[in-house]
Amino acid sequence: MRVVHGFVAASGAPLLWAETGVVPPPGGRRGRAAVPHPFAAPAAELAAALPGAAPAGPVALDLPTVGAAPLPSPQLGRAAPRRGTLRAAAWTVPAVAPGPGLADLADDLAVAWPEARLGVSAAWLAALAAFAADLVARGRVLPTAAARWRAVLTGADATRHAELLRAQPAAARGAYTAADAQRAALDHLADAAVRARLAAGGDVLAAGHPWVAALAGGPAASAAPRLADALDRWQGDALEPARVRLCLRLSRIEDEEDTDGAGWVLDFHLQPLADPSVVVPAWAVWRDTEATLRHWTHRPSDDLLGGLARAARLYPDLADALTVRRPSELLLDTEGAYRFLTHAPELAQAGHGVFLPAWWRRPLELGLALETRSGAPGAVLRDEYVGRKAAVDFRWRLALGGDPLTEDELVTLARAKTPLVRFRGRWVLLDPDRLAAGLRFLATGAGGRMTAADALRVLRPDEPGVPLPVTAATGTGWVADLLNGRLADTLSLVGPPPSFAGTLRPYQRRGLSWLAFLDSLGVGACLADDMGLGKTAQVLALEAHCRAAGPRPPTLVVCPLSVLGTWQREAARFTPGLRVQVLHGADRALDPAADLVVTTYATAALDATLLAATTWDRIVLDEAQHIKNSAAGVARALRTVPARHRVALTGTPVENRLAELWSILDFVNPGLLGPLSVFRARYAVPIERHADEAAAARLRTLTRPFLLRRTKNDPGIAADLPAKRTRTQFCTLTAEQATLYQAVVNDMLQRLKETSSIARRGLVLSAITKLKQVCNHPAHLLGDGSPLAGRSGKLDRLEEILDAALAAGEPALCFTQYAAFGALLQPHLAARFGAPVRYLHGGVPRGARDALVAGFQADERPGVFLLSLKAGGTGIDLTAARHVVHIDRWWNPATEAQAADRAYRIGQTRDVQVHTLMCLGTVEERIDRLVRDKEHLAERVVGNGEGWLTTLTTAALRDLVRLSPEAVGD
């Protein structure tokens, strides 16, 4: 395990260093002088892992220290020393200067060091590098008198800069203040990016004035005094903050008597930057009826005229408005509206407000539609009419927004005088070059016959000869149904053979038919049904169906250790005729008579050579998100295992990044999504960074033939499930809890004043953990083994819930984030209720784990099953439970929902009640509110743990952890 960190050097250059998981030998006392970091990775190793990187020598950093050793990073998963005072001490680390690809640091590390993790400081530097590269690409830089390039930050760029400053971790600052560190690093990165661009284009500036040559990488030189003064004025004009800004709003003038409308109007407004909610129209400025602006500017009319003059440099049509004495609007024809729309990004980047019609923010993409005609698939058969070589009639058409264009529409668009055209009741922007390329492609031959395999192949993003992305698939027959994702609903359903000892629900039969049909084509499949909808049963039915036709090689199932026993039990239950071998443990040798071989991801990586040398009929990856990192060892090992058919099972095909989806689907159908670099450029970056809906639609078109996902909310499935009721159970603190809580808060705030910025992260995380432990129980924080009864409001509420559940004969699951707290609860609850209380945590071996699950499911007495969230949150069926209690919060909605799905899944015949315990007026309630208010952050920020809390200011932390009066009970 390695963790990569970053910081800003004294020169302003970003530097990296790596921390290893090696435990240093115990040392004695150390002096004040900086000494080498005992478990830092050699600079040469890190430099070799990053393209273009080079060692930069040892650098002294103040790092959090306990005793004579630096505090290990939280990402390493090592326990902090139990003794010693946390302080900042100087350590030298072997630093590395990253290459020009710092923005792609995470991707480069995933390839070279798959087990490595990115520290928050390195991730922040990578984000800053991406921002610098974007500024340079848009020309948002100016030269300085010292022959350096400096980033220009106005408008939206200034807002983005402020967001990065707020997110800056203390460890990244080096010897700077936060603002100085960010500015120095940003200018250093921008300067390097400009010089790299100039070098790539040749020495365009080299043959001139020494100062000009220095800007292109020549010998250092400074500008002459007069030039330096001019440059300073230029910098000042570009960087001086304004009080108000000009805003331009484009709208359509609709004329009821003319269906084509009477034109377009560009309205002018002023907006105070200190209060963006105020937008004053220009006519109010000229009438001087809007006194609100007087709070921000003395001469609003001068600000309006000055803004128009500056904007006219970027959008020359505005010069016409300046010929009017009191300009308030500019009338435009369609060509003029198009010119404004194309200049809108430059105007926004220059700091002007630009308000555009809603349809402009959701553009329609021009692409190709593939129309195919083939026979109906009927039953799933292997024959010449249904297969990859089957002949298919096809026809190419152009499509706009995924809708194929008619011949008349195509003629109309081709004759349009401007790219801005009216289409089907809305205005759209057409790329003339794309339209011309599409028309040329159709002219070469718009139809004919191809094989089904060719029809699947043309969806690929790098398919030669296809000039535009395929954004729609239409037609009739099984090929069209497959391409547009309707196949599961149109196939003639097949039932499992008599050898399958079970009953499939209608949606499961559709899943079996879909899997069997893709199997007959030799096409891989990703079954992405919600957790608990019976993916295992569908795969076992597929095995029974295929093997009913005759003998075939074995199938390999790779799954997490936690569900190894589940596959054994389900196979014995549904397909008792299959010979199942579990490949796990010390003695591992393949049984040649086995039909189904079940192993774990860890074992598959160890036995990759053995598995790759075996002929497999099918390989099935359960919880396939385990190969989400395509560069990790287990993912690379499994790609070497040959199989006629590949199936991936996962309820979460995308957890954090779209590259995870690429890894899973590239395993299922190698080459389907093209190379990872192409996938990132065409899909991941546009969707993740820019929320590009057109790219998302293209990705859905590309993946839907091979990916089947049903959720518990689907109409055909919801009827098969009982109700799930979720309630938040508010608890109060006892006086003892409140006293301990306030003591932890006071200690944190005091130590934040005395602690260096570098040690802040560890201090905040430690304090949040302590506060959560206090909310659970005083004995959890103190660890003194003292009795539990009567000392915790949360424990009292838990006992009330369990008392009512057990009295009604209803078993319950109780999840806690902390294994130590579960160990305290088990004997207490067993004594309190006189009922069986089982406890599953990460230290329970596989055999005992399976016994605990089976015992809970079979026990006729209502009992309690305590589980640590990590060990029991996924992969097991506990449908005997009627109640699920989240004792403490993980603050990741997806993780907590997966835990609740242990009981709320297919097989559950009764309603399930989910109880979430939360202490009023404490950090628990405030973070829960924050997660609910910002749901889009839940998986990407909060879902990664509590590290995001360390980026909050001290004032924000104080408000987050403060103890409210309502927190303490009577």
Arithmetic mean of pLDDT, 355-375: 81
* Co-location of 68 and 102 in the same domain: yes
364 domain residue, yes or no: no
Q: pLDDT tens digits, residue range 144-177?
A: 878 888 888 876 677 788 888 888 888 888 778 8
Cβ within 8 Å of residue 97, ≥6 positions away:
13, 15, 16, 53, 54, 55, 56
pLDDT at 668 over 70: yes
Confidence of residue 757 (pLDDT cuts 50, 70, 90): low
Task: For the beta carbon of residue 750, count every other beta carbon within 10 angstroms.
Answer: 10
Give the pLDDT confidence score for residue 547 in this predicted structure.
Answer: 93
Arithmetic mean of pLDDT, 774-780: 91
Confidence of residue 182 (pLDDT cuts 50, 70, 90): confident
Q: pLDDT tens digits, residue range 505-563?
A: 888 999 999 999 889 888 899 998 876 678 999 999 999 999 998 899 999 999 887 67
* Co-location of 452 and 315 in the same domain: no
Give the pLDDT confidence score for residue 266 in this predicted structure.
Answer: 94
Q: Hey, which residues does 265 pair with through a beta bridge?
A: 251, 331
* Co-location of 426 and 549 in the same domain: no
Record the tokens describing residue 603, joined without a space: 């074992």
Angstrom CA distances, 294 to 242, 269, 270, 303, 703, stand at 14, 15, 12, 12, 56
Share of the chain above pLDDT 70, in %: 84
362 domain residue, yes or no: no
pLDDT at 936 over 50: no
* Co-location of 291 and 186 in the same domain: no
Give the pLDDT confidence score for residue 174 in this predicted structure.
Answer: 79
Confidence of residue 345 (pLDDT cuts 50, 70, 90): confident
- Dist CA 728 CA 772 (whole Å): 17
Q: pLDDT tens digits, residue range 3-17?
A: 899 999 888 899 999
Higher pLDDT, 557 or 229: 557
Give the pLDDT confidence score for residue 63 in this predicted structure.
Answer: 83
* Co-location of 186 and 85 in the same domain: yes
Arithmetic mean of pLDDT, 263-277: 83
Q: Taking the mean position of all CA atoms in its chain, how far away is CA 60? A: 34
Give the pLDDT confidence score for residue 940 in this predicted structure.
Answer: 34
pLDDT at 87 over 70: yes
Give the pLDDT confidence score for residue 317 in this predicted structure.
Answer: 92
Which residue, among 937, 926, 936, has the nearest Cα to 961 in the 3D structure? 926
426 domain residue, yes or no: yes
845 domain residue, yes or no: yes
Give the pLDDT confidence score for residue 935 in this predicted structure.
Answer: 44
Domains held by the chain: number: 5
Give the pLDDT confidence score for residue 543 in this predicted structure.
Answer: 95
Confidence of residue 944 (pLDDT cuts 50, 70, 90): very low
Which residue, among 509, 572, 492, has the nearest Cα to 545 in the 3D structure? 509
Give the pLDDT confidence score for residue 800 in this predicted structure.
Answer: 79
Which residue, among 566, 562, 638, has the nearest Cα to 605 in the 3D structure? 638
Among 484, 509, 542, the domain boundary falls at 484
Pick the range with the lowest mean pLDDT from 662-671, 871-880, 884-893. Answer: 871-880
Pick the range with the lowest mean pLDDT from 178-182, 622-626, 957-961. Answer: 957-961
Arithmetic mean of pLDDT, 608-636: 90
Please, how many CA atoms are within 13 Å of residue 539, restricted to the half-sphere of its CB?
30
Pick the range with the lowest mean pLDDT from 203-212, 585-594, 667-676, 830-839. Answer: 203-212
Confidence of residue 949 (pLDDT cuts 50, 70, 90): low
* Co-location of 388 and 446 in the same domain: yes
Q: What rounded mean pLDDT belongs to the chain? A: 80
Residue 465, domain extent: 370-484
Which residue, among 722, 732, 772, has the nearest Cα to 883 in the 3D structure? 722
Q: pLDDT tens digits, residue range 706-745?
A: 889 887 667 777 666 666 677 777 787 888 898 899 989 9
Give the pLDDT confidence score for residue 721 in this predicted structure.
Answer: 61
Pick the range with the lowest mean pLDDT from 225-229, 467-471, 651-655, 941-945. Answer: 941-945
Cβ within 8 Å of residue 553, ≥6 positions away:
615, 616, 617, 644
665 domain residue, yes or no: yes
Give the pLDDT confidence score for residue 903 in this predicted structure.
Answer: 64
Among 239, 259, 284, the domain boundary falls at 239
Is residue 374 within 8 Å of residue 478, measured between CB atoms?
yes
Confidence of residue 125 (pLDDT cuts 50, 70, 90): very high
pLDDT at 325 over 80: yes
Pick the range with the lowest mean pLDDT from 36-45, 467-476, 493-502, 601-610. Answer: 467-476
- Dist CA 214 CA 428 (whole Å): 46
pLDDT at 613 over 80: yes
Among 239, 274, 306, the domain boundary falls at 239
Record the tokens describing residue 39, joined without a space: 């478990």
Helix (H) or strand (E) run with residue 647 in it: strand 643-649
User: Where residue 568 sits, what CATH number does that domain have?
Assistant: 3.40.50.10810
pLDDT at 381 over 60: no
Give the pLDDT confidence score for residue 815 in this predicted structure.
Answer: 87
Confidence of residue 899 (pLDDT cuts 50, 70, 90): low
Burial (0-12, 13-18, 19+ Cβ within 10 Å), 661: buried
Pairing mode, strands 244-255 and 353-355: parallel
Arithmetic mean of pLDDT, 402-421: 81
Higher pLDDT, 580 or 402: 580
361 domain residue, yes or no: no
CB burial readout 317-349, b (16+ within 10 A) else e: bbeebeeeeebbbbebebebbbbbbebbebbbb
332 domain residue, yes or no: yes
User: Where residue 945 sits, what CATH number does that domain have?
Assistant: 3.40.50.300
Pick the range with the lowest mean pLDDT from 231-240, 363-372, 479-488, 646-655. Answer: 231-240
* Residue that has been written with the tokens 């030298």 in this structure: 92
* Co-location of 735 and 828 in the same domain: yes
* Co-location of 315 and 379 in the same domain: no
707 domain residue, yes or no: yes
* Co-location of 565 and 424 in the same domain: no
- Dist CA 483 CA 701 (whole Å): 8
Which of 360-374, 433-447, 533-547, 863-877 is predicted most confidently? 533-547
* Co-location of 616 and 760 in the same domain: no
* Co-location of 106 and 175 in the same domain: yes
Arithmetic mean of pLDDT, 188-196: 87
pLDDT at 241 over 70: no
User: Amino acid identity of 338?
Assistant: Y
Record the tokens describing residue 343, joined without a space: 């200049």
Share of the chain above pLDDT 90, in %: 15
Give the pLDDT confidence score for residue 383 in this predicted structure.
Answer: 40
pLDDT at 136 over 70: yes
* Co-location of 435 and 571 in the same domain: no
